Structure 1
Amino acid sequence: MNNKFNAKITGIGAYLPNKKLTNHDLEKMVDTNDEWIVRRTGIKERRIAAESEFASDLAIKAVENLIESNNVKINDVDMVIVTTFTPDHLTPSVAALTQGYFNMESAGTMDLNSACTGFIYGLCVADSLIMAKHSKKVLVIAAEALSKVVDYTDRNTCILFGDAAVAVLVEGKEEKESFLASYFTSDGKLAHYATCSNLSQRVNGQKMDKEKLFQQEGRLLYEYVLKNIPVGISKLLEKSGLVLKDIDWFVPHSANLRMIEALCKRMNFPIEKTLISNEFYGNTSSASIPLAIWKALNEVEIKPGDKMLLYGFGGGLSHGGTIIEW
């Protein structure tokens, strides 16, 4: 074993709001039905934050679950990174609010916004901080309160999104390398395909102007993903020196089950070895990848040593991934 000081995920916790928004609930809100939603997206229900619950509340509860489930301490965390495009405020950051709640006195804070690719960026920043010896312990939290910015009169978008938060602890360990390779790219010329005002919030049931709510060109994004993500994954594998057959688990952003099925078919990768989270939680943006991992761990699917290819894609348009050995 190569006993270098390397970054490794040592714990994971999650929080899902209590309220469920089912497809049958949506039938009463917009012109849609359960069969139509499931056939097109694979989603059956999603979780919705309470009116008084925001991204920082979700993040805090995910960290509490991390502490309880993994019996870890966070008082010595060096950096708190939160990935979100639905923060409580433009400032202070969700990371600062979380750090203050837990009184992590020695921890720096930052929010990262790369929409649905955000968690991958967060992990790679944590890995970089540890490898550069700036940090020994980093808390990476994906926290999204998408219900605050979704237009619930638009049946094409409101059926997709849910709220969730997942927290992972990344620590420097004298173990073999866990983060094997990463790859990122963006196409800002197409950024207008998915937009949301930085002033968007739905508070106390107040109706916001439609241009301030999340909007996307679903069909164009679908075509972009199927064309470009296999290329990105190929470049990531090339950087790692691995081939697709070496991968035990593919963990894509859980945007839409039909999209993931088409992606796996195009790459000739078994859907049975693909971890997703959207059936009961919807598209949770940057939280969808760690939520799929958390879900699989609870189902005792992931084993130590398994190689996992995590790949995010979404607003920006950004996409990128990392390969880790669990």
Structure 2
Amino acid sequence: MHISQINAFIPEKKLDNQILAKKFNVSEDWIYKRTGIKNRYISEIDVFQMGIKAAEVLDIDGVDTVLFVSSVGAHYVPFYVRIFEKLKIKNSRYGIDVSNGFVGFVTSLHIADVMFRENIANKILLIVSEKLSDLVEENDINTAILFSDAAVAMILENHDKCICDHRVMYDSEYLDALNINENKKIIMDGKRVYKFAVNNMKKMLSQYINDYGKKIIVPHQANKRILESVKKNFNDFEFLDIIEKYGNTGAASIPLTLFKTYGNTKISLKDHLLISVGGGMTTSAITWRCNNE
């Protein structure tokens, strides 16, 4: 499977450490040491409109399937149906909204793989749109310094006959470490999230590397301290990392990292190992095995 086109929508409104430091009466250095983040972006339009902004410049000729990924699901009318209409996709064949928290993008790639292998889809438009600023309590410094908004759209094609190896681990002991409260806002125990993310990402990466050897690792951009702690165990591997400039964009963070690293060009996913962690707590990763491997 490969990405033949990719584009991102980054909101214009920037939330930097200077603004947050003043609001919470802390230093910019205090924020940076805890997150490794300098900038976040806040969208003034909703997740559907963000997704349209990311997708509207792509050449959708031949697209017959739409996957719309967001931590916040659609109401009543699925997002993918509205995409068919808004982008005037003529040969609409199938679609799914994927709402699976921060691991939603990894999940959607497995769904795409099944669709290709079962001849359900020929060409897939995959949109990941996250407006995490809507899920942040205004006066919660723990989440305000982390989360950011972004949308990424891509065209997926499958001409290399590779199949995915998608693995998931759950740990219910950490269920309350990252969750949603009665106001539908994110609540987080930072120390426990750190422990869960580092331990489980290391464990899962070791399993994949044992089976596949060297791949380019694209982790969920959760927190710089988490990424650096994981990297220490895999010094010979390339890790893609953009968190300092864009913050934690949830399910959009891995595709945004791909776009910011490679630009709008063909990206061979078989060369990469994608890994994400999310509320629940869930660890989810995916790579591809090809006939010549």
Q: Structure 1 length as normaliser, TM-score?
A: 0.81
Could you list the runs of 5+ residues in structure 1 that have no partner in the other structure?
A: 1-6, 198-209
Question: Which of these residues, 108, 116, 121, is aligned with residue 130 of structure 1?
Answer: 116
Name the aligned partner's letter for residue 116 of structure 1. F
**Cα distance 1:211–1:22, how it changes in 2: closer, same or farther (>3 A)?**
same
Task: Note the C-alpha offset of 1:305.
Answer: 8.6
Match of 2:87? Answer: 102
Instruction: State whether structure 2 residue 11 is matched by structure 1 residue 39.
Output: no
Report deviation, 1:234: 2.6
Q: Which residue of 2 aligns with 1:290?
A: 255
Residue 188 of structure 1 deviates from its aligned partner by: 3.9
User: CA 1:305 to 1:319, structure 2 compared with 1: closer, same or farther past 3 Å?
Assistant: closer
Q: Are 1:159 and 2:179 matched, yes or no?
A: no
- Superposition CA RMSD, Å: 2.4
Q: Distance in 1 between matches of 2:135 and 2:81?
A: 22
- Structure 1 Cα separation of the partners of residues 123 and 49 of structure 2: 22
Amino acid at match of 1:11: Q
In structure 1, the partner of 2:229 is 262
Residue 154 of structure 1 and its aligned partner are, at CA, apart by: 0.8
1:310/1:323 contact within 8 Å kept: yes
Q: How does 1:133-212 map to 2 (within 5 A)?
A: 133-173=119-159, 175-177=160-162, 179-196=163-180, 211-212=183-184
Match of 2:200? 228
Give the aligned residue type for 2:212: L
Contact 2:174 2:280 (8 Å CA) reproduced? yes
The Cα shift of 1:321 comes to 1.0
> 1: distance between equivalents of 2:267 and 2:259?
13
Report 1 or 2 for greater relative contact order, CA contacts < 8 Å, sequence distance ≥ 6. Answer: 2
> Following the alignment from structure 2 to structure 1, what is the Cα–Cα distance between the partners of residues 195 and 49?
35
Post-superposition shift, 1:252?
0.2
Corresponding letter in the other structure for 2:82: L
- Name the CA distance, whole Å, in 1 between partners of 2:130 and 2:101: 9
Percent identity (aligned): 29
Aligned letter for 2:50?
L
Q: Which residue of 1 aligns with 2:287?
A: 323
**What is the deviation of 1:306?**
7.3
The secondary structure found in structure 1 opposite 2:280 is coil
Pair 304,212 (structure 1): closer, same or farther in 2 beyond 3 Å: closer
* TM-score (structure 2 length as normaliser): 0.90
CA-to-partner distance for each residue in 1:253-297, whole Å, 9 max, x for gaps? 000011100011133445xx2112221111000000011110110
CA shift at 1:58, angstroms?
0.9
Q: In the alignment, is the contact (CA less than 8 A) between 2:4 and 2:267 conserved in 1?
A: no
Other-structure match for 1:207: none
> Corresponding residue for 2:64?
78
